[in-house]
Amino acid sequence: MEHDIYRSLQEKISQYGSGFPASKSGVELKMLKKLFSEADAELYMKLAPQPETAEMIADRIGDTADKTAEHLKHMLKNGTVICFEKEGRIVYFPAPYIPGIYENMGQIVDAELAELLEQYHNEAYFEHLANTVQHIANATKNPVLKYIPVQEAIKSFSKVFPPDDAIALLKSKKKIAVVDCICRKQLKLTGVPTNLIECCFFFDDYADYFVDKRKQGRYLSIDEAIEIQMQCEKAGLVSTGGVTKDEILMCHCDKQCVAFRSLKNRITKDLIRSNYYAQVNMDSCSGCGACVERCVTDAVSINNDGIAEVNLGRCIGCGQCATVCPTGAIFLEQKPEEEQYKELLSAEEFAKRMMSKKTSG
């Protein structure tokens, strides 16, 4: 019976967000048992995908409002439901695996759970996420990720579009919270050396969700946020966001990021939204290889002539290579006018894109 409950739960979670596929070994069931009691699993499967108050949920499932509210608060602490204030009322809805349950593990992940996550990701999730991202891009003819170039690499440009300016984005937000990067925190617990941990930004309502509702992370002043942004850029982390105008988060990623580990050789300009690409001045390049080490997508290599060479099909225009070149030989170039993304998608356009993915696949 227990196995049936958790298998049913896995299938339910898989309906949300980027999905949650079954693995051959069933390791995801062990993960779920650490995150959900059987009662939690039963309530999760009864939740509606749209936000509801505890009273609405209780009325629908035939339980008391107080008992349901307490149970939801318990699940919120474990990161298995999401909670917001909407029109003056507290509402709940089931957390997807990503974005949601995985990111919420920052407070509770331990060595055992970290190992289970690593096994699950390698067995089932990395390939699944790559397929999902590719499917969305193919079905909608739109990139699905956006990388923001480092400030140092674009400071010489006279015109920089708002989506490419990390500092301007931070200044546009009413509230900013920072939480631990679960990708690197999880890997660190498996014994892998990692980069900065406290570096994932969430904005406005999502800042409140993490700090006020989940007690995870902390609020930042704009000066503190800019300082962390500069630290991340200096450490070689790539600023990553979605493709909507109203950004809810900004991650700082490297090769240990779930997205990079999933996409691997599938990283192409069709999946990445960027207004820049790296170029090399062959006369200035010393062939030191610093840019090769810095590149998170393996887009830079040293050719047979001992000169750095950029694979434009894999370059995401982040500019990290330019920040470590001792001779200034590698630099960012703006894409031609007709290839530039001057505005991001609206929330409505993004919703249509996601719906297109579900109905076509």
DSSP assigned state of 82: E
Type of residue numbered 24: K
Tens digit of pLDDT for each residue in 66-105? 999 999 999 999 999 999 888 889 999 999 999 899 999 9
pLDDT exceeds cutoff 70 at 354: no
Residue ranges per structural domain of the chain = 2-108, 142-266, 272-339
DSSP 237: P
DSSP-derived 3-state class of residue 216: coil
Paired tokens of 296: 């998170």
CATH 3.30.70.2660 fits 272-339, yes or no: no
Question: What separation in angstroms does the CA of 300 have from each of 145, 280, 319, 326?
Answer: 20, 10, 12, 16
pLDDT tens per residue across span 168-190: 899 999 999 999 999 999 999 99
The 10s digit of each residue's pLDDT in 266-317 is: 776 667 778 899 999 999 999 999 999 999 999 999 999 999 999 988 899 9
Contact 149, 229 (CB under 8 A): no
**What pLDDT score was predicted for residue 214?**
92
Higher model confidence: residue 323 or residue 345?
323
pLDDT digits (tens, 9 = 90+) for 150-167: 988 888 887 777 778 899
Top-level class of domain 2-108: mainly alpha
Distance, CA of 128 to CA of 130 (rounded, Å): 5
Instruction: Measure the CA–CA gap between 94 and 100, rounded to whole angstroms.
Output: 9
pTM of the model: 0.89
29 sits in the region (left: phi over 0; alpha: psi -120 to 50; else beta) called: alpha
DSSP for 131-197 reads HHHHHHHHHHTS--EEEEPPHHHHTT-S---GGG-HHHHHHT-S-EEEEE-HHHHHHHHTT---S-S
Q: Say whether 272-339 and 2-108 share the same fold.
A: no
What was the pLDDT predicted at 1? 42
For residue 222, what pLDDT band results from cuts at 50, 70 and 90? very high
Q: Comparing 83-92, 119-128, 152-161, 337-346, which segment has the lowest mean pLDDT?
A: 337-346
